[in-house]
């Protein structure tokens, strides 16, 4: 049977490789760096555990549960503390708990009376079904009101995409929201009536999906998949060129600085698009991935700070706080990491993970570590009543963090589908195609393996 070249040892590539190998399809995962995991990056230092990339996996699909089981990781799975379900949004320069029930919504100080009335009115706002693409900001202003955009959605968008609501496409970045209007005429009606259909499909809405991690952080997942894949993973092996041959693809890569070559039946492109755009490709039909280099990934710095419990006035009992731009702070938001998972800090201490930069303040992300700690501590002093110096501090700079599914992003997705159709044996999957979350990337890896397997099976040959 021919083998599959997987470019990128992030969660998408590793998941796809693991699934293919379990189905008996030989794979090689080429990873440019010296480690697996890509955007997943966990550091254990003393009693602290820092997550510089994602902090949790949202279990939106039974496929994610199955992957954890198949990887043998059920016993290492860590569910959050039940008390950590509360989420806060900053308004009036303080964190306010988000309401968890309809009654709570009508009594919360998070929204004014006019904001609350906008929600009551939403089911009666005429649905727009003209197929014209709209930003999430325009969508929210049209269906709710400006207050909802400025005080809720802006913060949510910063928390998920580190993005700009005026630029993100509702159809591309929040397709389920757009689909609710299309199908039910209203987000609120869709939430109510769509619940039954989601249950039938075994899916869970993102706002209700359980979150989890592992005893030693999310890095456990890529590290375990790498172990299961064994010799099939090549580290320090950036792929530089792909050449289509009559029966597959010749893959050129560097290993220990030396150029090397291998032959495979199919190629999965699971690296970020700005890296795919650099690949040299010689295909039977002219083909270039250069256009994908235009996809914007704004810079983000993750700042992880530890404090003595008594030095933080706020109880931090919850998942974390989202911060709308209008509130005037520099950080985008903070995860109360050790409230979620107590083993992320030594006894009597807290770990707080904050994010700086994104589309809101891209210039701040690349500041020096000292400046980033100062920026973060200054905001945490006001918001959480933090005093004293941090007992632990670490940061990580992502020059290109998260792809922005901005207005017009559909043309990149259409181009991927077009290339896959015209160029048999080339597959696209991962955060740039099927949703930016970790859970989406895992499902994307599983689904692409399901597409690659029959392709390889139907092209059995003695080579590669």
Ligand X SMILES: Cc1cc2nc3c(=O)[nH]c(=O)nc-3n(C[C@H](O)[C@H](O)[C@H](O)COP(=O)(O)OP(=O)(O)OC[C@H]3O[C@@H](n4cnc5c(N)ncnc54)[C@H](O)[C@@H]3O)c2cc1C
Residues that bind ligand X (CB under 6 A): 7-13, 30-33, 38-40, 53-55, 58, 238-239, 270-272, 275, 300, 302, 398, 401-402, 430-431, 436-439, 441
Q: Which is nearer to ligand X, 269 or 377 (CB)?
A: 269
Half-sphere exposure of 149 (CA within 13 A, CB side): 17
Structure tokens at 426: 């080339």
Q: Which is nearer to ligand X, 62 or 104 (CB)?
A: 62
As measured in angstroms, the least distance from the Cβ of 458 to ligand X is 26
Q: Which is nearer to ligand X, 141 or 264 (CB)?
A: 264
Q: Which is nearer to ligand X, 239 or 281 (CB)?
A: 239
As measured in angstroms, the least distance from the Cβ of 210 to ligand X is 13
What is the residue-wise DSSP string for 244-272? EETTEEEEEEEETTEEEEEEESEEEE-S-
Q: Which is nearer to ligand X, 190 or 358 (CB)?
A: 358
Place of tokens 């990128």: 8
Indicate the burial class of 130 (C-beta count within 10 angstroms; 0-12, 13-18, 19 or more): exposed
Q: Which is nearer to ligand X, 71 or 270 (CB)?
A: 270
Q: Which is nearer to ligand X, 32 or 118 (CB)?
A: 32
As measured in angstroms, the least distance from the Cβ of 238 to ligand X is 4
As measured in angstroms, the least distance from the Cβ of 442 to ligand X is 9
In this structure, the chain runs to a length of 464
As measured in angstroms, the least distance from the Cβ of 147 to ligand X is 26
Of 383, 70, 76, 317, the C-alpha closest to 216 is 76
Q: Which is nearer to ligand X, 188 or 289 (CB)?
A: 289
As measured in angstroms, the least distance from the Cβ of 348 to ligand X is 26
Structure tokens at 357: 């930069």
Half-sphere exposure of 328 (CA within 13 A, CB side): 4
Q: For helices 175-184 and 136-143, give the axis angle rounded to 10 degrees.
A: 40
As measured in angstroms, the least distance from the Cβ of 67 to ligand X is 13
**CB of 297 closer than 8 Å to CB of 401:** yes
Q: Which is nearer to ligand X, 17 or 115 (CB)?
A: 17
As measured in angstroms, the least distance from the Cβ of 61 to ligand X is 13
Decide: helix, strand or coil at residue 212: strand
CA-CA-CA-CA dihedral for 82, 86, 87, 89, to nearest 10:
-160
**Beta strands, E only, 151-290:** 211-214, 233-234, 239-245, 248-255, 258-264, 266-269, 280-282
As measured in angstroms, the least distance from the Cβ of 308 to ligand X is 26
CA 378-384-387 angle, 5° bins = 60
Q: For the chain, what is the largest distance between any 2 Cα atoms, rounded to a whole number of angstroms?
A: 71
């Amino acid at each position: 049977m021919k083998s599959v070249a997987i470019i990128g040892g992030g969660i998408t590539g590793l998941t796809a490789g693991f699934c293919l190998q379990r189905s008996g399809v030989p794979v090689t995962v080429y990873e440019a760096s010296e480690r697996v995991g890509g955007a997943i990056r966990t550091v254990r230092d003393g009693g602290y555990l820092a997550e510089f990339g994602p902090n949790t996996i949202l279990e939106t699909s039974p496929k994610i549960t199955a992957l954890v089981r198949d990887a043998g990781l059920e016993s290492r799975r860590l569910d959050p503390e039940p008390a950590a379900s509360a989420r806060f949004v900053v308004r009036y320069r303080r964190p306010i708990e988000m309401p968890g029930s309809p009654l709570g919504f009508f009594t919360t100080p998070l929204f004014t009376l006019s904001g609350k009335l906008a929600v009551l009115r939403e089911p009666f706002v005429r649905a727009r079904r003209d197929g014209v693409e709209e930003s999430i900001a325009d969508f929210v202003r049209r269906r709710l009101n400006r207050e909802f955009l400025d005080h809720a959605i802006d913060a949510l968008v910063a928390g998920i995409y580190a993005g700009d609501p005026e630029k993100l496409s509702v159809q591309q970045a929040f397709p389920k929201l757009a689909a609710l209007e299309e199908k039910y005429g209203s987000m609120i009606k869709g939430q109510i009536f769509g619940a039954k259909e989601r249950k039938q499909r075994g899916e869970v809405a993102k706002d209700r999906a359980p979150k989890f991690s592992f005893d030693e952080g999310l890095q456990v997942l890529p590290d375990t998949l790498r172990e299961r894949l064994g010799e099939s993973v090549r580290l320090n092996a950036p792929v530089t060129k792909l050449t289509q041959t009559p029966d597959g693809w010749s893959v050129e890569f560097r290993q220990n600085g030396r150029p090397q070559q291998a032959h495979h039946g199919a190629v999965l492109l699971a690296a970020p698009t700005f890296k795919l755009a650099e690949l040299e490709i010689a295909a039977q039909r002219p083909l270039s991935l250069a256009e994908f280099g235009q996809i914007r990934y704004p810079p983000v710095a993750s700042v992880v700070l530890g404090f003595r419990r008594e030095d933080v006035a706020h109880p931090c009992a919850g998942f974390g706080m989202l911060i709308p731009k209008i509130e005037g702070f520099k950080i985008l938001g903070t995860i109360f990491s050790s409230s979620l998972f107590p083993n992320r800090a030594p006894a009597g201490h807290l770990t707080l993970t904050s994010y700086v930069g994104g589309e809101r303040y891209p210039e701040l992300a690349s500041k020096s570590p000292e400046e980033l700690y100062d920026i973060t501590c200054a905001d945490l002093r006001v918001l959480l009543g933090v005093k004293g110096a941090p007992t632990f501090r670490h940061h990580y700079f992502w020059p290109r963090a998260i792809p922005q599914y901005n207005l017009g992003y559909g043309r990149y997705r259409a181009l991927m589908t077009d290339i896959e159709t015209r160029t048999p044996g080339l597959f696209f999957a991962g955060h740039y195609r099927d949703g930016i979350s970790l859970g989406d990337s895992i499902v994307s890896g599983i689904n692409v393996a399901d597409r690659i397997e029959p392709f390889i099976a139907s092209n059995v040959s003695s080579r590669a």
